[in-house]
Amino acid sequence: MIACNKSIEGRTDNLSFLSPSNVDANAGSWKLILLSRPDSILVAPPVATNTPGYIGELNEVKGLQQNLTSDQINNIKYWAAGAVLRWNETMRELVAKHNLAPYQNEDGTYPAPNSANPFNYPQFPFSNPCYAARAYAYVAAAQYDALVACWYYKALYNRPAPYKTDSMINANSKYIAKTDLPSYPSEDAVLAGVTAEMMKLFFPTEIAFVEQKAVDEKSGSLASGKNTRSDWTAGESLGRQIATVFAARGRTDKAGAAGGNPTIWAQMEQDCVAKGEVPWISQEVPKRPPQLPLFGKVKAFLFDSATLANEIRPGPPPSTSSQQFKDETAEVRYYTENVTRERMKIIDFWADGVATATPPGHWNDIAAQDFLGQNFSEVRWARNMALLNMAMMDAAISCWDAKYTYFNPRPSQVDPEIKTLTGLPNFPSYISGHSTFSAAAATILGHLIPSRATAYSSMAQEAEMSRLYAGIHYRSDIEVGYTVGQKVGNYAVQRATSDGAE
């Protein structure tokens, strides 16, 4: 049990400061995701470091460093561990908090993002694997583009950090790593600005919480001696403006139409029946509409719709009238009737259901724990998280495309004697979401940290088997899902090898 022996810590409040082995000074030239150029958004030149205004900013930092309270010191240390890390932790917390089934509308439908409000729905936000994967991807991709632009301007203006300019600040800056990275614009501020704006779109009831996190990061950055106020102001403005670029994409990526409508749901069922197959039906009481039948139409980050249809979409599952289907159904029943302690641990570890950060969040957690030992720069942290999360969003798109192309029934639908050992998702069986997410994540993570590639592959295989053991997927679901996930992950690898960071 490779994965079950791995400690998934989640939030880590007592880390040492981020001390990159390489500040990636050339990151301003790395390939962007949405921005056309790193200078697409103008950042004005800073004032000279010998002007009265800047000297006043240095004095402000020295004033902040006098008589720091234990809470202020802890805040500095918290953010000094890495802002990409901290914001990703916060993202997982919010996804888990809102990963609850929404209330049913009076007309029998369920709230979902729509064309008028494509990021959330007005009453309160909620999460599920697809929406969570999309949110993680947008936030991570926006962070990456924002930091590439930040690094571009750092190299252009080359303003030294306050602790390099004033010896008094240097003496007090003992809670952060000191590097040769220019301070203008502030990378912490860029991250605070871009992340806060993106998170507010996905979690509108958490605006006050998110903005307070940005304020805390600002307080820690200034008091640490890492930035002056003008460093922060320039960076925060850049980040918030870049967020608007990603928000614009989100409003047109078709996620708002992912819920479909009764006519579409009925047509999917009829198409399945016309092929002579048993169609999937909701086993919830009362019966609920299928979850996000058009999420497969959402615009991907790593490939286009033609690639999805022609290269990624798998062939059909075994016919529901075939012997293979009967054998696979019998296998599912065997596992649910012959539960072992070891298999139950695997089921529980990978369940990632209600009130969790979902399967994509689980893999974010795994990645974060491993990235901590790599001494990445902030911009490389962002790049790696963007690759991981774009792969998992696109895995969700690919998986849901297959699910609703084939509309295959769940094992417990065709054999009522099968009693599932974890929650039963309200969407078709083929292919497995866990398998697709996990294989995509393992593929790109294995590229980013080759020494861990075998471990990631073992985790992904365990994750896929957890769904067979739990009685909610056939073997063909998990095996084909794994293959599709690998294909998606390889598109992320292709991007990684051509983005200039390697």
Assigned token pair, 419:
């009693």
Residue 258 has what DSSP assignment? Answer: T
Assigned token pair, 24:
């990636």
d(CA 492, CA 487): 9
The residues near 458 (Cβ < 8 Å, ≥ 6 apart) are: 2, 3
Low-confidence stretches of the chain (pLDDT < 50) are 4-9, 122-124
Domains of the chain, residue spans? 39-250, 260-496
Q: Burial of 154 by CB count in 10 Å (0-12 exposed, 13-18 middle, 19+ buried)?
A: buried
Domain 39-250 identical in fold to domain 260-496: yes
pLDDT of residue 113: 63
pLDDT of residue 107: 65
CA neighbor of 406 nearest in space, from 430, 423, 387, 376 = 430
pLDDT of residue 285: 78
In angstroms, how far apart are the furthest CA atoms of the chain? Answer: 83
CA neighbor of 294 nearest in space, from 427, 464, 120 = 427
Q: Is 10 left (phi over 0), alpha (psi -120 to 50) or beta?
A: left
Assigned token pair, 297:
């139409």
Q: 34 with 245: CB under 8 angstroms?
A: yes
Q: At what angle do helices 378-406 and 358-371 cross, to 10 degrees?
A: 150
d(CA 135, CA 56): 40
**CATH, range 39-250:** 1.10.606.20
Instruction: Write the DSSP string, 281-303.
Output: ---SSS----S-TTGGGSPPSSS
Residue at token pair 């600002």: 218
Assigned token pair, 286:
């009362």
Q: 492 with 302: CB under 8 angstroms?
A: yes
pLDDT of residue 6: 44
Using alpha carbons, list the distances in angstroms from residue 113 to 12, 41, 259, 388.
32, 29, 8, 24
Dump pLDDT digits (tens) for 358-402: 999 999 999 999 999 999 999 999 999 999 999 999 999 999 999
pLDDT of residue 393: 98
Dump pLDDT digits (tens) for 323-341: 999 999 999 999 999 999 9
d(CA 320, CA 413): 12
pLDDT of residue 9: 45
- What is the pTM (predicted TM-score) of this model? 0.95
d(CA 496, CA 502): 7
Q: Burial of 258 by CB count in 10 Å (0-12 exposed, 13-18 middle, 19+ buried)?
A: buried
Q: 364 with 96: CB under 8 angstroms?
A: no
Average per-residue pLDDT for the chain: 93
d(CA 241, CA 424): 41
Quickly list H helices, 227-281: 229-250, 262-274
Q: Is 355 left (phi over 0), alpha (psi -120 to 50) or beta?
A: left
d(CA 467, CA 477): 9
Residue at token pair 């990159």: 20
pLDDT of residue 100: 81
d(CA 76, CA 73): 5
260-496 belongs to which CATH class?
mainly alpha
H/E segment holding residue 494: helix 475-496
